[in-house]
Each structure stands twice: as structure tokens, then as C-alpha cells.
Amino acid sequence: MTLATELEALAVDIAQEAGRLARVRRDAGVAIAATKSALADIVTEADREVEALIRARLAAERPGDGFLGEESGAERGASGITWVVDPIDGTVNYAYGIPHYAVSIAAVTGEPTPEQWEVQAGAVYAPVAGEMFRAARGEGAWLGEARLAVSAEVGPAGALLATGFGYDPATRPGDLELIAHVMPLVARDLRRSGSAALDHAYVAAGRLDGYFERGLAPWDLAAGSLLVTEAGGRYGRNQPDGSWRSPLIVAAGPALFDRLAEAAGLV
Ligand code: IPD
Ligand code: CA
């Protein structure tokens, strides 16, 4: 076992336990605990509890590692490895009872920011579908025993794409402008699934031809970006403008990437 596959196995194990807890809490009923950056940006008690479980298990099994989580913040480690965690990606789906949500856990080396880190391993687990997407650097991306591959070509009807929107209402006009620009060039149709982690995983699995979104946080994309590249896809991010959010990310197979990147304005 390499270090990356060891980290992957741990991510998978913890994501499974965390996903089980999220599902149990969802079945028992979910209440919104607080709003965060904007009124639409919500957190449930389950998000916090699931993150606490993940954090406690990582601290017990790899006490020297750092941590960066959506709900409980950052802590530096001594080992050079940081775990980047979204306990429930797709929180709004989760709160509304839509089963499309996932636990996302990644291990990165280097500074724990997307422009400086190297993702070593990641797991994205959708507990209701029972789907565990996983990757270790250099070892491919997998769904169960099936090796994942991005879509190899785009048919004449154009690409099936996904995107998402940030919670800040001020960013919405820009998001819509981007869609207006991309649609006629490359899109057969467009999905807005509500989980960035699963959008990445679906690109890796060839269920989507491509995905683009502005304003993602590090934990939305850490595990997913490795899934895409390990499945043979390409991943691009515009340089940050001083914010810790990514101004724009584009993920797609090699057959589509350049066209989508150009249409979306990736520089
Ligand atoms: C959100 C989801 C959504 C994306 C947003 C994210 P959360 O994460 O991934 O699909 O469009 O940008 O913030 O709040 O559900 O963890
Ligand atoms: Ca998220």
C-alpha cells in the first residue's frame, strides 16, 4: 500500500460511517440550525454532528494531520497532510429531503489551498444511492470495483453539462450570464444538481460531459477534483482574486475541455 492508497482507504471508511449518520439523522427529521454567509446558506445540526464525527475519527487515527472543514474551521498539522472535509455537500437538498447529497473527504499535501495543494486521496460518498466514489493519486478513480473514465467524446447534440450557484444573491447575475454564454456553444442540456462534490464525481464517471461553477470553496472541490483527473479528465481553475473561493472551475474530458474552458472564460 502506498501512502495515497492508505489515505484513500481511511477516507472511504470514515465517509461510509459519516454517510450512515447523515442518513439516520435525515430520516429522523432535519431542522435548519443557522444561516451562514447569506440567508440561503444554511447549516443543519446534522452537518455539524457529521463533521464532528469525521474530525474525531481523523484525530484518533492520524493525530499529526491538519484539518480544514466547512463547519468547524481549520487546524494546522505537523505531518504535511491536511484533511479537507465537507460533511454534507448538498445541504439544501438534504434539508428539503432530496436524496442527492454526499460526504466529501480529501487528503492533501502542501498548503491547504487549491492553488497550492496536491490532492493525494479522496472519497465522495452518496449514502442514499449507496455510491462511494474514490481516488488515490496515480491509482485511478473508482466506483466500487469499476474504474471510472470521463466521457471520451461529445455527440453532435452537444455536451451534457452541470453547474451550480453560490449563495450570495449578488453573484447570481454573473452565474446566469455565464450560462447564457456556454449553453449555445456546447450544451445538449444543463443540470443543477445541488452538490458540487457529486457534480465532480459524475464528470469522473462519464455521467456528465462537463461541469463549471464560480465561487466554490476548497471543501467543495478537493476530493472531486482528484476524481476527475484520475478518471482521465482535465481540471482548470481561474487564479484567485484574493478570496479563498475559486473564481471559476471547469472540469471535463479532454475531448470537451478546451471548448468548454474557452466558452466559460477560463484563462
Ligand atoms: C454547495 C453545493 C452546491 C454548489 C454550492 C455549494 P453545500 O455546498 O455544492 O451544489 O452550487 O456552490 O456551496 O452548501 O451544500 O455544502
Ligand atoms: Ca459544499
Mean local confidence (pLDDT), 225-231? 98
Domain's final residue, options 126, 147, 168: 147
8-state DSSP, 170: G
Name the residue with the closest Cα to ligand 1, atom 15: 90
Going by C-alpha positions, the residue among 49, 48, 47, 83 that lies closest to residue 63 is 83
Domain membership of residue 153 (yes or no) is: no
Q: Report pLDDT for 43.
A: 80
Instruction: Give the model confidence (pLDDT) of 47-88 as tens digits.
Output: 999 999 999 999 999 999 999 999 888 999 999 999 999 999
- Confidence at residue 218, expressed as pLDDT on a 0 to 100 scale: 96
Give residue 193 CA to ligand 1 midpoint distance, Å.
9
Cα of 89 from ligand 2 centre, angstroms: 4
Give the pLDDT confidence score for residue 267 in this predicted structure: 85
Of 93, 121, 147, the position where a domain reaches its end is: 147
Distance CA 45, CA 48 (A): 5
- Asked whether residue 71 falls in the same domain as residue 140, the answer is yes
Tell which residue, 192, 171, 158, 156, has the closest CA to residue 263.
Answer: 158
Backbone angles phi, psi at 215, to 5 degrees: 80, 20
Q: Is the dihedral of CA 84, 164, 103, 34 positive or negative?
A: positive
* pLDDT for the residue numbered 256: 96
Cα of 7 from ligand 2 centre, angstroms: 21
pLDDT at position 44 is 87
Which residue, judged by its Cα, is nearest atom 13 of ligand 1? 166
Question: Which structural domain range is residue 185 located in?
Answer: 159-264
Q: Using one digit for the tens of pLDDT, what is the confidence trace for 16-32? A: 999 999 999 999 998 88
Q: Is 104 in the pocket of ligand 1 (CB under 6 A)?
A: no
Nearest ligand 1 atom to the CA of 199 is: 10
CA nearest neighbour of 253 among 161, 135, 142, 153: 153
Residue type, 231: A
What CATH number has the domain bearing residue 80?
A: 3.30.540.10
Task: Report how far apart the first and last C-alpha atoms of the chain are (Å, whole number).
Answer: 38
Ion ligand 2, residues whose Cβ is below 5 A away: 86, 89, 220
Residues in the annotated binding site: 70, 86, 88-89, 220
Do 13 and 143 belong to one domain?
yes
The answer to the question of residue 103 being in a domain is: yes
Question: Ligand 1 pocket, 166 CB below 6 A?
Answer: yes
Given a cut of 90, whether residue 186 has pLDDT beyond it is: no
- The DSSP 8-state label assigned to residue 154 in this structure reads -
pLDDT at res. 147: 98
- Split into its structural domains, the chain has a count of 2
Q: Are residues 190 and 136 in the same domain?
A: no
Query: What average pLDDT does the chain have?
Result: 95
pLDDT value of position 253: 97
Q: Are residues 8 and 109 in the same domain?
A: yes
The DSSP bridge pattern shows strands 249-252 and 159-162 to be unpaired
Q: Does residue 141 sit in the same domain as residue 212?
A: no
Does 202 map to a domain?
yes
Same domain, residue pair 22 and 132: yes
Answer yes or no: do 124 and 186 share one domain: no
Q: Are residues 123 and 248 in the same domain?
A: no
The C-alpha cell that represents 130 in the structure block: 449507496
Which residues pair with residue 257 across a beta bridge?
none
Mean pLDDT of 223-238: 97
What is the C-alpha separation between 47 and 2, in angstroms, rounded?
A: 31
Q: For residue 192, which atom of ligand 1 is closest to its CA?
A: 10
Residue 260: pLDDT band with limits 50, 70, 90: very high
- Cell 453532435 belongs to 156
User: How large a percentage of the chain has pLDDT more than 70?
Assistant: 100
| CATH at 222 | 3.40.190.80
Residue 226 to residues 106, 135, 199, 241, 262, Cα–Cα distance (Å): 9, 7, 13, 23, 22
Q: Which of 87, 116, 147 is the C-terminal boundary of a domain?
A: 147
Ligand closest to Cα of 91 equals 1
pTM: predicted TM-score of the whole model, two decimal places: 0.97
